Structure 1
Amino acid sequence: MNLITFTSEDLIAPDTLVLRDRRLQHLLTVNRPEIGSLLKVGELGGMIGQGEIIALSPEQATLRIRLDTPPPPKREMVLVLALPRPKMLKRILQMVVTLGVTELVLINSFRVEKSFWQSPWLSEAAIAEQLRLGLEQAGDTVAPRVTLAPRFKPFVEDDLPALMQGRQGWVAHPAKQANGPQEGSAETRRLSPSTKPTLLAIGPEGGFIAYEIEKLQAAGLICCDLGPRILRVETAVAVALGQLLP
């Protein structure tokens, strides 16, 4: 935990923070602070600063806080991601926070199993928990917006054009696989660092089908190739976002 995040519910006074949950256990077992120790704190959705421990026990930690620094800036990056397996989704949610994505849209695809959409990990509380863990790792307080689009065609036709306004759009889609041409093969380009507002679409395991690629291209997305190796979704997300970072 590189940042202790909190909300107004954790405050007993405007400048006094009390921790009693997993954050306290992390402090006691990992940080092992003493009275007077200074720790980095940040209000969710707000400013970052320091907290001085003024009382400490196995039951709670009390910190006097001072917030004076804005959260780290983000680039305008929208990630459109075919809904991955629930266990993988947890890791990806934290990853997109640490890489500074501003918006995540989870969409349906032909190769996405229907059961994934019934996963408890898609609940608002479960998503918020993983985003918060990502914020604590990244030292940030502002989580990306997360939306669900369980119907592919309405999303591409109705919602994607608005998301593409003022953005450069990419869809990760290899030109070839080890056993021959990729379904719906199209001319691809390599990603390169950019400071422009960007939208990146990444498909499910096995990739988008030809129909989906055609619809995404019609919306203005350019096919990009992440290299000759076949990547898992979470690896593709990390590689693609890493290549786009300036």
Structure 2
Amino acid sequence: MNLILLGADDLTAQDHARVTDPRRLRHLREVHRANVGDEMTLGVEGGLIGRGRLERLDADSAEFSLTLDRQPPAPLDVHLLLALPRPRMLARSLEHVTALGVKQITLLHTRRVEKSYWQSPELKEDKIRQHLVLGLEQARDTIMPTVTHEKLFKPFVEDRLPALMTPASGTPPRGIIAHPGMPDECPRAVHEPVMLAIGPEGGFVDYEVEKFMAAGFEGVHLGERILRVETAVTALLARLG
């Protein structure tokens, strides 16, 4: 936990916070080995980051005086379209992409996604939020990503994707589909909005690739190695950023 993420309920005044949940208290005691007078990095969800001085710590709460004076790191301008991974991989992937600065995540059903994955407890709102919070704490960020679910592939690519690719305002994103066997390497340090599509274990089927290409996406690869989804996601985002 490189940042203690505060919610609105934690703030007792503009410059004071009281933390009461067991997870953060345990981390303060067992990892930070915090003592009264220690200073550490804190931030308010959706807001500023700064320093907090520990004023009081007991079994039930920790109290901080706050000096919040800087903005969170800039987001990565990538909308990630991620074919729903198996549950354990989903948890790790959400944490990784959040730490890398992604703020828009669409979990997508594709042919090779097991339908049972959509019934996983990992998709419950509170579980997803837990993983997003861990990613923010790791990266010292405060801006929570938005996660949407698209359980039907064809209606998404035919009805909703075109509007995402041609927004009413702002710069249209550059569509990129990462898939083995594509002709071009993934670009590096892209200075424009990107919509990045990544398939499941086993990749997209030909029909799905064709649908993305018809929507204006360009196909890219990461070389000859076949990577796990969580590894490929991290590698692609690092190159694009």
Query: The TM-score by the shorter chain falls in which range?
Result: over 0.9
Structure 2, unmatched stretches of 5+, are: 167-171
TM-fit CA distance, 1:10:
1.4
* C-alpha contact 1:99 1:241 (8 A) present in aligned 2: yes
| 2:193 alignment partner AA | P
Cα deviation digits, residues 75-94 of structure 1 (max 9, x gap): 31111000000111000010
| 1:134 alignment partner AA | G
CA distance in 2, matches of 1:19, 1:225: 45
CA distance in 2, matches of 1:57, 1:127: 29
TM-score, scaled to structure 2: 0.94
TM-fit CA distance, 1:14:
3.1
CA distance in 2, matches of 1:13, 1:45: 17
* C-alpha contact 2:84 2:200 (8 A) present in aligned 1: yes
1:174 aligns with 2:175: no
Matched pairs, number: 235
CA distance in 2, matches of 1:200, 1:161: 14
Cα deviation digits, residues 8-61 of structure 1 (max 9, x gap): 211233322112221111111111222221111111111111111111223321
CA distance in 1, matches of 2:91, 2:215: 29
TM-fit CA distance, 1:188:
3.6
CA distance in 2, matches of 1:17, 1:239: 37
| 2:45 alignment partner AA | L
Task: Call closer, same or farther: CA 1:16–1:190 in 2, change over 3 Å.
Answer: closer
CA distance in 2, matches of 1:233, 1:10: 36
CA distance in 2, matches of 1:152, 1:88: 21
Matched residue of 2:31: which SS? helix
Give the corresponding residue for 1:96.
97
Give the corresponding residue for 1:19.
19
Give the corresponding residue for 1:110.
111
Q: In the alignment, which of 227, 235, 239 is matched to residue 239 of structure 1?
A: 235
Give the corresponding residue for 2:223.
227
* C-alpha contact 1:191 1:225 (8 A) present in aligned 2: no
Give the corresponding residue for 1:135.
136
Matched residue of 2:216: which SS? coil
Give the corresponding residue for 2:82.
81
Q: In the alignment, which of 200, 204, 212 is matched to residue 200 of structure 2?
A: 204
Give the corresponding residue for 2:69.
68
| 1:122 alignment partner AA | L
Give the corresponding residue for 1:4.
4
* C-alpha contact 1:79 1:103 (8 A) present in aligned 2: yes
| 2:31 alignment partner AA | V
Give the corresponding residue for 1:216.
212
| 1:112 alignment partner AA | V
| 1:12 alignment partner AA | T
Matched residue of 1:96: which SS? helix
- Please, which moves more after superposition, 109-118 or 161-170? 161-170
Matched residue of 2:76: which SS? coil
* C-alpha contact 2:183 2:221 (8 A) present in aligned 1: no
* C-alpha contact 2:176 2:217 (8 A) present in aligned 1: yes
TM-score, scaled to structure 1: 0.92
Cα deviation digits, residues 185-239 of structure 1 (max 9, x gap): x544432221111111000100000000000000111110111011111111011
Task: Call closer, same or farther: CA 1:74–1:119 in 2, change over 3 Å.
Answer: same
* C-alpha contact 1:191 1:226 (8 A) present in aligned 2: no
Matched residue of 1:239: which SS? helix
* C-alpha contact 1:193 1:243 (8 A) present in aligned 2: yes
CA distance in 2, matches of 1:242, 1:76: 12
